[in-house]
Structure 1
Amino acid sequence: MTLPHPKIRIRNLHKSFGAKTVLDGISLDVAQGTSFVIIGGSGSGKSVLLRCMLGLMAPDSGTIEIDGEDILTTSARRREELCGSIGMLFQNGALFDSLPVWENVTFGLLARKLVSRRDARVQAGSILAQVGLDPSVGELYPAELSGGMQKRVGLARAIAAQPDILFFDEPTTGLDPIMGAVIDGLIVDCVKKLGSTAIAITHDMASAQRIGDEAAMLYKGQLVWQGPAASLMDSGNAYVDQFTHGRREGPITMELRR
């Protein structure tokens, strides 16, 4: 019996900037419907890996497959179609200040002409309700929202097109612990409702365990551990244990930046 392709398959991914190697042979499988969390310190390669998976940055070598199709070698049109099935929650919301909330939420739908402006305004209210916001919030502008509300609007935009894949970049950054837990709960609910495959990068260990099924740690551009997200605090791996418990002593060393 032929086994199904993982939703996302990465093989031997490399990326360097000059003499600095950022991704050093990353190989990773993410199964359909899985919430996968990637942890690691600053400069470990998490953001570069995310940009490569989103098609925003080209790796030097390796493959990135979605449903068995390499997005790096397919045609530009097909790559655009594949990336159209991806929703993204950016670290700082990345909302358009000059647009009302309803237009931020439906921006991708409008840009791809999947909905009229009239229908988009109505649809935005329904999507906002899914993340716990009253439809009337759609008439406000981002500057009128709290940080937690901006995160919810960002999540609403990410799920607006009912994507197959969702990416989350530090979803709880800048939020207090209670609001962080609220956002994590909304993420879990939305992912389950859509049946999406989710990948998140985060420094927040509580968040990682709340939203993740599986987890992996990057260190100096390499995967040093992979396992259940529930095992992050007692993984038995020296790198993961030092990172998750915030210990000064261990195999992870701070490098001088130039």
Structure 2
Amino acid sequence: MTEPAPLPKIRIRGLRKAFGAKQVLDGIDLDVPQGTSFVVIGGSGSGKSVLLRCILGLITPDEGIIEIDGVDVLRAPQREREERLEEIGMLFQNGALFDSLSVWENVAFALLAPTASPRLSRAQARVRANDVLAQVGLDASVGDLYPSELSGGMQKRVGLARAIADRPEILFFDEPTTGLDPIMGAVIDGLIVDCVKRMGSTAIAITHDMASAQRIGDQAAMLYRGKLVWQGPASSLMHSGNPMVDQFTHGRREGPITMELRR
């Protein structure tokens, strides 16, 4: 007897979202298996960020299904929806650290929230923050600094530490290497891969950086004008055989992808 296929960690069907006359997502179907590191590529305006925000519950789609562990978070009761969304940790493109909080307080922000379960004391949260900072290669003394005292690479590390502090089952990465030099970008990618593997989390990253996409991704997909035009192994991104993917990954001016320029 054939065993049923394992339930995807995230399952998306028929996802659509428009802003006025502009159709940003146009019928997205996507499965992200448990424990997979999934990369979504595409140009500016292709719908990558909107897709991420729909899954996070920050934007309500017009149509479709978004399931996490088999629960449709768009239609589930509020408490069940919140429980699923609490499984998610997020590394924002610009770090999104709170300037008025010290580094360790930023890292431990979710652990100290009134809704945290279990909620830790400040002393316990500081110990946890120190441990997570060490996991991203930062000394505990960095915890006493403020975000304005950190370099861009250090801010990214702190953002990653905050994302993994409460050991989420799902991790989202929004352009994790933007603004970093190639070496620091590779360092951040290595930390992401290490954290995902150590925790067994399912990860989704959106990026323009093809080197980063191949380093952190198991699977990849490309969006173009709100549609999923290709999906396959991240290792095939540079030789996918798909004309749109090949044009995008190699940065060619000529090809099926056209730039809409305002005159």
The alignment's TM-score, normalised by the length of structure 1, stands at 0.99
Following superposition of structure 1 onto structure 2, how do residues 94-243 of structure 1 map, counting pairs within 5 Å?
A: 94-111=96-113, 112-113=115-116, 114-243=119-248
CA distance in structure 2 between the aligned counterparts of 1:24 and 1:239, rounded to whole angstroms: 17
Letter in 2 for 1:139: D
Q: How far off is 1:73 after superposition?
A: 0.3
Q: Paired residue for 1:49?
A: 51
2:228 is aligned with what amino acid? L
The whole-number CA distance in structure 1 between the counterparts of 2:43 and 2:230 is 14
How many residue pairs align between the two structures? 258
Match of 2:41 among 39, 42, 45: 39
Q: Percent of aligned pairs with the same residue?
A: 79
Deviations 1:20-68, CA, capped at 9 Å, x for gaps: 1000000000000000000000000000000001111100000000011
- CA positional deviation for 1:79: 1.1
Residue 96 of structure 1 aligns to a residue whose secondary structure is coil
Q: 1:257 to 1:56 in 2, by over 3 A?
A: farther
Give the CA deviation at 1:257: 4.6
**Alpha-carbon distance, 1:256 to partner:** 2.9
CA deviation vs aligned residue, 1:109-146 (integer Å, no higher than 9, x gap): 11134211121112110110000000110000000000
From 244, 247, 250, give the equivalent of 2:249. Answer: 244
* TM-score for the superposition, normalised by structure 2: 0.97
Q: 2:102 is aligned with what amino acid? A: P
The two structures, once aligned, show a CA RMSD in angstroms of 0.9
Runs of 4+ in 1 over 3 A off after TM superposition: none
Paired with 1:55 and 1:78, the residues of 2 have a C-alpha distance of 13
Task: State the alpha-carbon separation in 1 of the partners of residues 185 and 26 from structure 2.
Answer: 32
**Equivalent-residue separation in structure 2 for 1:27 and 1:242 (angstroms):** 23
* AA at the equivalent of 1:201: I
Which string of whole-angstrom CA distances, capped at 9 and with x for unpartnered residues, describes residues 154-196 of structure 1? 0000000100000000000000000000000000000000000
- The structural deviation recorded for 1:3 is 2.2
**Structure 1: unaligned runs, 5 residues or longer:** none
